[in-house]
């Protein structure tokens, strides 16, 4: 009986992690190619005040509500970032740093406010910092599945547009495509994926789940389609293995474990991927030296 329950919980949580990893991996491929890896980090940090504010205002810990708040705050962070880079001399990297630290600071302030309330149940909001996949329920998995499906459909529908956005934005603009709108649309898609990952991975580390599978996949393949698929698979592998490890060592936060699994994949790929891998490169160099001698 207990075993059956455990299996069921584990299955739920692992399925959720696989869906999340696959979705972030696929989207992350574009984020990686567009060189917006750190933007993912800033967006993820920026969602925290939304989560806490949603809880403070409504007093409920309904996940949809909290994630809705997170999405609003993340979206606001993105718009502020774009506004600062467009309408001031502040460069992209500083603008990201400002958005990230200001929003996270606000989130920490609010979180502390909640925790200091006499008698208030702090609602497991701390889990949003480092993630606790064990708290995933089957309806969260349904939400993740819907999110993954939505992301796949949108990626297929706008494949050409997003491809052009990643590789040759100017050419897209010269064709008369609304590149600015596509850019904002894509970034909001990333916000959605990040928000869906908050429960399992947390605001601090969610960006790694976007970037790491993509960086690993890039070492093995060259085509965009293959890269997106491989990144999705690697993301799912990292998600599932991290979650299972966290379930084995109860109490350890899931986010860091998932990130370490993904980082291991990256390290392996950087060293050993055929042609690009550092090990092969070093061997080639040694062989070349031997020939010259």
Beta carbon nearer to another protein, 180 or 282: 282
Q: Which of 4, 2, 31 is nearest to 206 (CA)?
A: 31
The binding site for another protein (CB under 8 A) comprises 32, 35-38, 40-41, 84, 87-91, 93-113, 116, 126, 129-130, 204-205, 207-208, 211-212, 214-215, 218-219, 249, 251-253, 255-257, 259-260, 263, 266, 270, 276, 278
- Considering beta carbons, is residue 102 or 138 the nearer one to another protein? 102
Q: 89 or 291, CB closer to another protein?
A: 89
Least distance from another protein to the Cβ atom of residue 249, Å: 8
Q: Which is nearer to another protein, 117 or 181 (CB)?
A: 117
- In the complex with another protein, which residue's Cβ is closer, 23 or 143? 23
CB atoms within 10 A of CB 203: 29
Task: Please report, in angstroms and rounded to a whole number, the separation of the first and last CA atoms in the chain.
Answer: 70
Q: Closest distance between another protein and the C-beta of residue 254, in Å?
A: 11
Q: How would you class 93 by CB atoms within 10 Å of its CB: exposed for 0-12, middle for 13-18, buried for 19 or more?
A: exposed
Quote the least distance from Cβ 149 to another protein, whole Å.
27
What's the burial of 4, exposed, middle or buried (CB within 10 Å: 0-12/13-18/19+)? exposed
CB of 252 to another protein, least distance (A): 5
Query: Per 3-state DSSP, what percentage of the chain is helix, strand, and coil (rounded to 5)?
Result: 85, 0, 15
At closest approach, how far in Å is the CB of 118 from another protein?
A: 11
Of 141 and 204, nearer to another protein (C-beta) is 204
Torsion angle of C-alpha atoms 148, 243, 200, 226, degrees rounded to 10: -30
Residue 45 CB, nearest distance to another protein (Å)? 8
Task: Give Cα separations from 226 to 13, 147, 217, 274, 275 (angstroms).
Answer: 27, 21, 9, 15, 17
């Amino acid at each position: 009986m207990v075993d059956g329950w455990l299996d069921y919980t584990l299955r739920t949580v692992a399925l959720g992690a696989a869906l999340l990893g696959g979705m972030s991996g696929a989207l992350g491929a574009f984020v990686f190619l567009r060189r917006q890896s750190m933007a993912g980090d800033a967006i993820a940090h920026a969602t925290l005040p939304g989560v806490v504010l949603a809880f403070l205002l409504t007093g409920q810990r309904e996940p949809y509500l909290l994630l809705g708040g997170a999405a609003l705050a993340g979206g606001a962070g993105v718009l502020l970032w774009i506004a600062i880079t467009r309408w001031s001399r502040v460069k992209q990297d500083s603008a990201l740093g400002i958005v990230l630290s200001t929003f996270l600071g606000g989130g920490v302030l609010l979180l502390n406010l909640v925790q200091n309330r006499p008698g208030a149940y702090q609602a497991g909001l701390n889990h949003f910092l480092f993630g606790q996949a064990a708290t995933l329920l089957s309806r969260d998995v349904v939400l993740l599945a819907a999110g993954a499906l939505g992301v796949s459909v949108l990626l297929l529908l706008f494949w050409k547009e997003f491809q052009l956005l990643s590789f040759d934005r100017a050419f897209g603009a010269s064709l008369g495509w609304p590149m600015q709108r596509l850019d904002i649309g894509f970034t909001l898609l990333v916000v959605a994926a990040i928000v869906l990952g908050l429960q399992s991975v947390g605001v601090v580390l969610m960006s790694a789940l976007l970037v790491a599978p993509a960086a690993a996949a890039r070492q093995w393949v060259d085509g965009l389609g293959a890269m997106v698929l491989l990144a999705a698979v690697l993301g799912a592998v990292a998600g599932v293995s991290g979650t299972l490890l966290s379930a084995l060592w109860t109490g350890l936060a899931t986010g860091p474990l998932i990130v370490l699994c993904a980082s291991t994949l990256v390290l392996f790929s950087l060293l050993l991927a055929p042609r690009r891998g550092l090990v092969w490169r070093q061997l080639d160099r040694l062989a070349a030296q031997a020939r010259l001698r």
